[in-house]
Homo-oligomer: A and B are copies of this chain.
């Protein structure tokens, strides 16, 4: 049973009632994706321990992996210094990216 206690009142929601959540693999440190969260999504995430987001395109809540099985079990939730960005550290089952890649950030990468 998850037992998070971050209050939605502590968060500076944007004009759409959302904040970005950076999603990081709790073990490897790899950044997996970024998604958007509203107060309901955060409350569900904290209650269930499974990362849940607000889909801006579909305009609905979605629990990551509910259909694909690629669940994200949330280990830690952190809020940044100015209260407008969340960091979810998760145990990722399978691929984080809908393309089947482990992370959404493999598509392009430039080096000096």
Contact = CB atoms under 8 A, between A and B. Distances in A.
Interface in A78-112: 78-82, 85, 87, 97-99, 101, 104-112
Q: How many copies does the complex hold?
A: 2
A30 B89 CA distance: 11
A76 to B, nearest CB: 6
21 contacts: A2-B112, A20-B20, A22-B22, A22-B31, A22-B34, A28-B29, A29-B29, A31-B31, A31-B87, A33-B85, A46-B110, A74-B112, A75-B112, A76-B110, A77-B109, A79-B107, A80-B105, A81-B98, A81-B104, A81-B105, A81-B107
Interface of A: 1-6, 10, 20, 22, 24, 28-31, 33-34, 46, 49, 74-82, 85, 87, 97-99, 101, 104-112
